[in-house]
Amino acid sequence: MKNKAIRRKLISKPLIIACAFFLQLTILLSLVYQLTQHLFGLYTFFVILSYITVIIVLNRDDNPSYQLIWTIVILFIPLFGGILYLLFGGKKVPKALRKEMILNSQTKPYLKGLSQQAIEQMPMDVLRWKKLITYLESQVYFPIYSNTSSMYLPLGEDKFVMMCETLKQAQHFILLEYFIVKDGKMLDTISNILIHKAQQGVEVLFVVDDFGAADLSSRKIKELKDAGVKLEFFNPLKPSLAVFMNNRNHRKICVVDNKFGIVGGINIGDEYINVIERFGHWKDNAILLEGEAVSALTMMFLSMYTYVSKRSVDYNSYLIPHCCESDGYIQPFSDSPTDNEAVGESVHLHLINQATKSIKIQTPYLILSHVMRNALVLAAKSGVNVQIMVPHVPDKRMVFEVTRSYYESLLKAGVTIAEYTPGFVHAKMMIVDDEVATLGTTNMDYRSYYLHFECGIMLYQSSIIQTMSDDFDKTLKECVIITPLDVEQTPWLLKVFRALLRVFATIL
């Protein structure tokens, strides 16, 4: 069984693409090297190009950590550094993707949230966050809603149950958008429902990231498509020397009839619901919405779907009105590498900087920019109780070591760091002062902030915020609390290794 799994990995599409990619790169760099050995003028040109590139990199409005790593790479190998940056460092996405995927005035008319007058009349503890509310509406065109109820789902198993229940209620359409979809019990159960619904005449639209579909069998793809499920793949992997291969769709969205919507960190795979064990117990979470705010999730999906499918859709036909008793205020939002706006990072920074009592964070990866680390340190030094929960069992060893490299400075400032000893924390949640919270797909790392398509839910004055906070406290009892002594006892060689990895953190 183990040998079969290894063979499957060796012939997997991502590995084949990676081999072809590195072969192309090797041939290109070898060609450049051979030419420069015989043409001194060409050698001089590439070296000058690298130095000019360093000046361009340092003058770009970009993350300083990203600028640092590329400056080091270019100056360390000046012959190839400029070429490598032009190929991979610009973070450029295809023009078609940039044009189609920016959520701008094309979608704004379809999203009708609270009016400015209604916002001004909100309770003071909500108006405290007016700047954040305004930022999300003005920059990514997602308004704030009432007339929406919410339910917190503390584990993947809970999300799976509720997802199946809501899918079975579909009468008009089902919209699914996921990063990872792989064969197993979870997919079999969901696909059976999708096939049954498609046969009943329900429209089923399904978008999967092509990288995340590495473990999705051709048999399952055919089964879904033959049943009438419109399955599309985002950014298909190609053996191409193109940086946009690094832009992945990391969102996890489930919408039914514009009535129900589910967002969270849980993909479609058996480890997410603890049917199988990969890195110990998998701790994840999600939020189920019912009501007006689901329209924002519908528009997020349709914007992605129209790009990947090359089909035009009538947005209004999907925005079926549905209201229910309001539970606070809900503001869904998305983040895209196409608009030069780091929405996920901005949301996190705003929440941290505005905290007065407590900050509770769950994240699988903690790769902090200088600004983010300073914000957390300043909050802790200002008397805010900052608690950060990360995995104890890592899924990516190098990223885990980078996460641990931040412990010393955070602990000195008074931040509490907890590692979830039963296994892996995959939840992406931040709760501030037990009165506002965000939950979604955004990790606290460079990839989520700058390279991936992400989404999340902002909750204001909602009763489930306390439920989320209680779940955090409950989970904290299963964690080991990191102490300064733990950091001091780290072997010096491991400290050096972590320091080196941190230099390259933005490309891990």
Residue 55 CB partners (closer than 8 Å, separation 6+): none
Q: Is 257 a catalytic residue?
A: yes
**What average pLDDT does the segment 123-150 reach?**
93
Q: Is 252 a catalytic residue?
A: yes
Structure tokens at 341: 């706006």
Structure tokens at 162: 């509720």
Helix (H, G, I), strand (E, B) or coil at 504: coil
Of residues 190, 214, 242, 235, the one with CA closest to residue 86: 242
Question: What is the rounded CA–CA span in Å between residue 419 and residue 30?
Answer: 45
- The domain 146-326: what is its CATH number? 3.30.870.10
In DSSP terms, 479 is beta-bridged to 420
**Where residue 433 falls among pLDDT bands split at 50, 70, 90?**
very high
**What average pLDDT does the segment 62-67 reach?**
75
- Per cent of the chain over pLDDT 70 is 88
The answer to whether residue 74 scores a pLDDT higher than 60 is: yes
Q: Which of 158, 209, 210, 257 is catalytic?
A: 257
What pLDDT does 242 receive? Answer: 58
What pLDDT does 357 receive? Answer: 98
Q: Is 250 a catalytic residue?
A: yes
Highest mean pLDDT among 12-26, 36-50, 487-501: 487-501
**Where residue 493 falls among pLDDT bands split at 50, 70, 90?**
very high
> Which class for 106: exposed (0-12), middle (13-18), buried (19 or more C-beta within 10 A)?
middle
Residue with tokens 């966050």: 129
Question: What is the rounded CA–CA span in Å between residue 101 and residue 300?
Answer: 9
Q: Which of 220, 259, 392, 428 is catalytic?
A: 428
Question: What is the rounded CA–CA span in Å between residue 292 and residue 260?
Answer: 9
Of the ranges 5-14, 170-179, 462-471, 481-490, which one carries the lowest mean pLDDT score?
Answer: 5-14
pLDDT in tens, 497-507: 988 888 777 66
What pLDDT does 13 receive? Answer: 66
Residue with tokens 């050698």: 43
Full 3-state SS string of 351-413? HHHHCCCEEEEECCCECCCHHHHHHHHHHHHCCCEEEEEEECCCCCHHHHHHHHHCHHHHHHH
Q: Is 281 a catalytic residue?
A: no
CB 78 within 8 A of CB 51: yes
Q: Is 310 a catalytic residue?
A: no
* Cβ neighbours, 10 Å, residue 333: 27
**What average pLDDT does the segment 266-271 reach?**
97
pTM value is: 0.90
Q: Which of 360, 392, 426, 452 is catalytic?
A: 426
Structure tokens at 476: 């904290």
Residue with tokens 């967002």: 263
Burial annotation 213-248 (CB, 10 A radius, 16+ → b, else e): bbbbeeebbebbeebbbebbbbbebeeeeebbbbbb
What pLDDT does 188 receive? Answer: 98
Helix (H, G, I), strand (E, B) or coil at 340: coil
What pLDDT does 103 receive? Answer: 46
Residue 473 CB partners (closer than 8 Å, separation 6+): none
Highest mean pLDDT among 71-85, 110-124, 195-209: 195-209
CB 234 within 8 A of CB 304: yes
pLDDT in tens, 219-231: 999 999 999 999 9
The answer to whether residue 197 scores a pLDDT higher than 50 is: yes
Whole-angstrom CA distances from 271 to 158, 173, 219 are 14, 28, 21
- Strands 260-264 and 253-256 come out as antiparallel
Q: Which of 220, 250, 350, 360 is catalytic?
A: 250
The mean predicted confidence, pLDDT, of the chain is: 89
Q: Is 428 a catalytic residue?
A: yes
- The domain 343-507: what is its CATH number? 3.30.870.10
Taking the domains of the chain in order of start, what are their residue ranges? 2-89, 146-326, 343-507
Please enumerate, as own/partner, the contacts of 119-126 that have beta carbons within 8 Å and a separation of 24 or more: 119/144, 122/329, 123/461, 125/435, 125/461, 126/328, 126/329, 126/460, 126/461
**What average pLDDT does the segment 248-265 reach?**
97
The answer to whether residue 479 scores a pLDDT higher than 70 is: yes
What pLDDT does 315 receive? Answer: 93
Half-sphere exposure of 424 (CA within 13 A, CB side): 22
Q: Which of 159, 197, 252, 350 is catalytic?
A: 252
What pLDDT does 149 receive? Answer: 95
CB 231 within 8 A of CB 223: no
Of the ranges 273-287, 301-315, 412-426, which one carries the lowest mean pLDDT score?
Answer: 301-315
Higher per-residue pLDDT: 373 or 50: 373
**What average pLDDT does the segment 237-242 reach?**
67
Helix (H, G, I), strand (E, B) or coil at 418: strand
What pLDDT does 100 receive? Answer: 56
**What average pLDDT does the segment 293-322 reach?**
93
Residue 152 CB partners (closer than 8 Å, separation 6+): 285, 287, 464, 467, 468, 471
C-alpha triplet 255, 260, 261: angle, nearest 5°: 50
Q: Which of 209, 433, 445, 471 is catalytic?
A: 433
- H-helix or E-strand spanning residue 205: strand 203-209
- H-helix or E-strand spanning residue 350: helix 343-354
The answer to whether residue 1 scores a pLDDT higher than 50 is: no
What pLDDT does 9 receive? Answer: 53
